Every structure is written in C-alpha cells, then in structure tokens.
Amino acid sequence: MSTIKNYLSLVKFSHTIFAMPFAMIGFFLAVLRPAMQLPISAATPVGWQQWLIKLALVIGCMITARSAAMGFNRYLDRHFDALNPRTAIREIPAGIISADHALWFVMANCLLFVVFAGLLNRLCLFLSPVALFVVLGYSYTKRFTALCHIILGIGLSLAPIGAYIAVTNHFALLPLLFSFAVVCWVSGFDIIYAMQDEEFDRGQQLHSIPAALGKTKALRVSEFLHLLSASFVVIAGIVGVFGYWYWIGVAVFAGMLVYQHSIVKPNDLSRVNIAFMTANGVASVVFAVFVIVDLFWQPLSV
C-alpha cells in the first residue's frame, strides 16, 4: 500500500482534477450531441453498457497518459529537483523511488495508454503516439524555451477533444473550443506556479515566463491568458447554444480565475498553492458539472 501511495505522490495524482473534468465534458458532449444536429437515436451506437465501457477507457487513457507524463517529468528533472529546496523532498531525489523504477513506471503507463486508445477506435490508436509525444515532450521544453507553459497547456488540452474523438471518431469545432480554453487556462496558472522558482530557474539556466520577464510581467501574461480562456468558454457557449446551467458554470469558472489573481502578488507568493490547487480545482470541477447538467437538460437543442 505504501508503494502505491508513493507512486500516486510521484505523479501528483490529485492534480488529475485539472484535466479530467474537461475530458468528461468532451465525452458527454459526444454522447449527447454526437453530430451537433442529429438526434441521439440516430448517432448512439448500442446501449448504455457500451457507453460505460467507453467512459472507463477514456478515464483509463487520461490516468495513464498523465501518469506517464508526470512520471517522465520527475525522472528527467530529478537532478534539478535535488538542487531546489522546494523540490528536493520529491520521491526520486529523496530516494523513495529509484530513477529506474520511475522510468519503468512511465513505460508501463505509455503502453497501457496505447492499449486503451486502441480499444476505443482506430483514430485514437493512430493519434496515441502524437499525444504521448506532446505530453512527454513537455518535460524537455523548459531547457530551451520560456513557452514551456504553453506546451503543458497543449498537453492537457488534449482531454476534451480526445474524449470527443473516442466516442465519435471525428473532430468537431465545439470540443476544440474547450481545448483552446484549456490551453490558455493551464498555461496561465502554470506561470503563476512557476513564479516560486524564478531565481532557481535563472541560476540553472532553465526557461520560464517568470525567469524571462520577472514576476510582475509574468502575472500580466497569466492574466491575459486567463482572459483568453474565459473568452473561449464564452464562445463555446454561444456556438453550442447552451442554456442557463452552462452560463452559471461560466460565471464560476471566470470567478475562480479572478480570485486566484486577487490572492497572488509579485511580492507575496504565500497563497500560490491555494490559487494553483484550490481555485483551479473548483473552476474545473464546478464548470464541468454545470456543463454536463446543461447537456442532459437540453441534449437536442442544436
């Protein structure tokens, strides 16, 4: 049991709360509005048992892809983590999990992800290496570009469109709009989180927006990205002709974005973890709940 707990800690399993709700949005969007015009009976393949299997496979893809990405990040950054007082207690530098075991863990999750994707449909199978390239490749980006936050956002943004493709086997505009919202949202809050390591990153010649621009300007960039994220959510609501439940969710999502910027200041990072985990966790979960309620409330509205 302690071994499982250590690996869950290694990949910060609780952070699954960020992307998983958006994957659920993509999934239920596909189930309830499969073609955005066809009635459900014309597009639903076979009964609720199939939907449960697909849902389980989508969740499996989410967990394994994220575990592989996070585990690889910890493996690749283990030497930097050992030098940083904030991260020296992480499992690999602290000797709780060996680097070799962490790498085996990453490979096992990559294999499971491809298997789960293949069980969904052929398009998901073909796209699975691309998804792994993005989520694993992020770990290298901090070594050469301050745009690493955007790459992280792109990795998590695969959740809504990936879940949609898992059900429908094709792309569509509406889930892409949610993906764009995720890119900007995640990039923005990752910049806030990276402010804690501004001086360390500079000293180790690592790249980030805070290291490149300083805390004050980095916060302005984060604010701009979160404004874009809220805009994409609004555009998605208009394109999808959602009802009032959706717009309540939008209000909560936007409110959490405003809240996290109100409690983090360039000269006061004491509440970064509240902004990072609590505010964004509430934003994603509550927003997803209201979106899904709205989808069930008026599934045939478009």
Does the pLDDT value for residue 302 go beyond 50?
no
Within 8 A by CB and 6+ apart from 8, the residues are none
Answer whether residue 128 is part of any domain.
yes
The mean of the pLDDT values for the chain is 91
Total structural domains within the chain = 1
Q: What is the distance between the alpha carbons of residues 280 and 260, in angstroms, rounded to a whole number?
A: 8
Report percent pLDDT > 90 for the chain. Answer: 78
Answer whether residue 147 is part of any domain.
yes
Answer whether residue 10 is part of any domain.
no
Q: What is the distance between the alpha carbons of residues 19 and 22, in angstroms, rounded to a whole number?
A: 5
Q: What is the distance between the alpha carbons of residues 120 and 169, in angstroms, rounded to a whole number?
A: 9
Answer whether residue 2 is part of any domain.
no
Answer whether residue 7 is part of any domain.
no
* Phi, psi for residue 265 in degrees, rounded to 5: -125, 155
196-249 pLDDT, tens per residue? 999 999 999 999 999 999 999 999 999 999 999 999 999 999 999 999 999 999
Report percent pLDDT > 70 for the chain. Answer: 94
* Phi, psi for residue 268 in degrees, rounded to 5: -150, 100
| Cross-strand bridge partners of residue 265 | 268
33-70 pLDDT, tens per residue? 754 443 343 344 456 788 899 999 999 999 999 999 99
Residue 106 CA: distances (Å) to CA of 2, 24, 65: 19, 24, 9
Domain, as residue range, for 128: 15-297
pLDDT value, residue 278: 85
Answer whether residue 240 is part of any domain.
yes
Answer whether residue 302 is part of any domain.
no
CATH of the domain at 98: 1.10.357.140
Q: What is the distance between the alpha carbons of residues 20 and 194, in angstroms, rounded to a whole number?
A: 22
71-83 pLDDT, tens per residue? 999 999 999 999 9
In one letter, which amino acid is 149? H
Alpha carbon 102 to its chain centroid, in Å, reads 21
- For the chain, the distance separating the N- and C-terminal CA atoms, rounded to the nearest angstrom, is 48
Q: What is the distance between the alpha carbons of residues 113 and 170, in angstroms, rounded to a whole number?
A: 19
Answer whether residue 4 is part of any domain.
no
